Amino acid sequence: MDKESGSSAFSNRSFRLLFMGSSVSAIGDQFTLVALPWLVLLLTGNPAQLGLVLAVMALPRAVFMLIGGAVVDRMSPRRVLLNARAVNAVLVGLLAVLVLLGAIRMWMLYALAAGIGLATAFAYPAGSSLAPQLVSPAQLHSANSNFMGMRQMSLLIGPALAGFVIKAGSGAAAMHDARGTGIAFAVDAVSFLFSVASLAMIRVASDRHPPAPKGGILANLLEGVRTLWRDRQMRALIGYFAAGSVLVGGPLQVALPVLAKTRLAEGAAAFGILMTANASGMLIGSIASGTVTRLTRGSLGLLLLSADTIIGLAVATMSQVHVLAIGAGIMGLTGLLGGTIQISMMTWLQRRVPQALMGRTMSIVMFTFLGMAPMAAALAGGLLRVFSLSELLIGAGLSLSTIALFSLTRPNMRAIRLATAGAPGVAATGD
C-alpha cells in the first residue's frame, strides 16, 4: 500500500487522484441536491410528492447500504466505488436528457431515483473505507480534514451555482422552468465521469490481494453489527445519530425547499443560498475544529451534545424566517457548530474500528444519516398536509435539543473522548 507516514497525505499519488476526482464529483452532487427537490415541486407543487421521491431514493439506499458495507469488506473498495459512480453517471445523465427534452414524467423520476439510491448504497461505504487504505494512521486526521474542507467548499460553491443555473432557465411554463434543472443534472453527470476517471488510475493493496471471504454476506453483516453492539459508546453514538437524522435531518430536506419556494422571493436561488450559508459555516467550523477540540481537552461527547442543543434551537427559529438574510445567518450558525465536531468524530470512528470491519461500520454510520433521513423526509412531507411549515420546524428543532440534553445525562455519550480514538479496534468500552 502506498503510504508515506512521515509526509503529507498529498504526497501519495493515489490520495491526490481520489481527492481531485471526489472534489469535482462533490460539486456536481450539489447540483442534483438542489435540482431534484426543485424539479418535483415544479412538476407537482406538492411537498408530499417531494417526500415520496426522497423516500423512493432512500429505500434501496437504506436496504442495500448495509449489504454494500459487507461487500466492500470482501473486495476492493476502489472497484466498488468506481462501479457505483459509473452507474450514477449513466442514471443522472439520462435524467438530464429527459428533462431537457421535456419528456420527464413522475413515474420516470421515481424509477431513476430508485436506481440512483441503489448505486449510492454501495458508493458511501466504499468511499469511507478507501481513504484509510491510502494513508497512514498518522495522516488520517489530516486526510479527513482535507476531505471535509473540500466537501464544505463544494457546498459553498455548488448550491449557489445550481440555484442560479435553475433560475436562469426559468420562464412562465412549468416545463420551461424545469429546463434549468436539466442543465443542473447534466453538470452532475459529467462530474461523475471525472470521478470514474480518477478512480481508474488508483491502485490499492486490496486490488491485488482482496480479503478472503469467510461465510456469506449476511453472516458478515451480522458479525459487524454484533461487534459494534458490544461497544457501548459506539452503540450509544449510532443510536443518537439515528434519532437526530429522523427527527431533524429528514424534516429539513423537505422544509428548506418549501420555505424557499413559499416564503422567500428569490425562489430557487434562495434555496441554494441557504445551503451555501450552511456550508460556509461548516467550512469555518472545520478549520476551527482542531483548536476547539484541544481547548475542550478532547471531550467530543460534551462538545457534540452542547452543539446539537444550540442547533435544535436554531432550527426551531427558522420557523419564523421570511427574510433570506436571516435564514442564511441561522443556517450558517448550524453549519459552524456542526463543522466544529465532524472531523474529530469521524477520525474517532475510523481509528476505533479495525480495517477488516471498516466497510460494515461505515455503512451503519452512513445508514443513520443517508438511509434514514430521506425516509423521515417522506413522513415530513405528509405531515405538511396536517401541520404548518412553522410547526414542523419547531417540532424538529425542539426534538433535537431535548434529545441532546437528555443524552448529556447518559455516561456513554458524555464520556466520548478523542483520547480513546487511538485504541486499536473496537473495544467493548464505555462507562
| Per-position b or e across 271-307, b if 16+ CB within 10 A of its CB | bbbbbbbbbbbbbbbbbebeeebeebebbbbbbbbbb
Assigned domain for 118 exists: yes
Look at 86-90, 232-236, 309-313 and tell me which has the smallest mean pLDDT.
Answer: 232-236
- Does the pLDDT of residue 423 top 50, yes or no? no
- Does the pLDDT of residue 2 top 60, yes or no? no
The CATH number linked to 263 is 1.20.1250.20
Which triple of cell numbers denotes residue 316? 426551531
Question: Whole-angstrom Cα distance, residue 50 to residue 42?
Answer: 10
Q: Three-state DSSP class for 387? A: coil
Assigned domain for 264 exists: yes
The CB density around residue 401, as the number of other CB atoms within 10 Å, is 19
Question: Whole-angstrom Cα distance, residue 227 to residue 357?
Answer: 9
Assigned domain for 324 exists: yes
* DSSP 8-state secondary structure symbol assigned to residue 212: P
Assigned domain for 127 exists: yes
Nearest to 375 by CA among 35, 37, 52: 52
Percent of the chain with pLDDT over 90: 17
- Convert the pLDDT of each residue in 322-360 to its tens digit: 889 999 999 999 989 988 887 777 777 777 777 677 777
- Convert the pLDDT of each residue in 399-409 to its tens digit: 999 999 998 88
For residue 30, give its domain range: 11-207+217-420
Assigned domain for 5 exists: no
- Convert the pLDDT of each residue in 150-197 to its tens digit: 877 787 777 778 877 777 765 544 444 677 888 889 999 999 999 999
Contact by Cβ (8 Å): 149, 343: no
Which triple of cell numbers denotes residue 402? 431535548
Dihedral in degrees, nearest 10, Cα atoms 124, 150, 245, 264: -130
CA distances from 312 to 44, 319, 383 (A): 30, 12, 19
Q: Please state the domain count of the chain.
A: 1
The pLDDT score that the predictor gives to residue 5 is: 45
Assigned domain for 425 exists: no
Range ranked top by mean pLDDT from 263-277, 327-341, 415-429: 327-341
Contact by Cβ (8 Å): 189, 4: no
Contact by Cβ (8 Å): 270, 264: yes
Question: Whole-angstrom Cα distance, residue 263 to residue 266?
Answer: 9
Assigned domain for 34 exists: yes
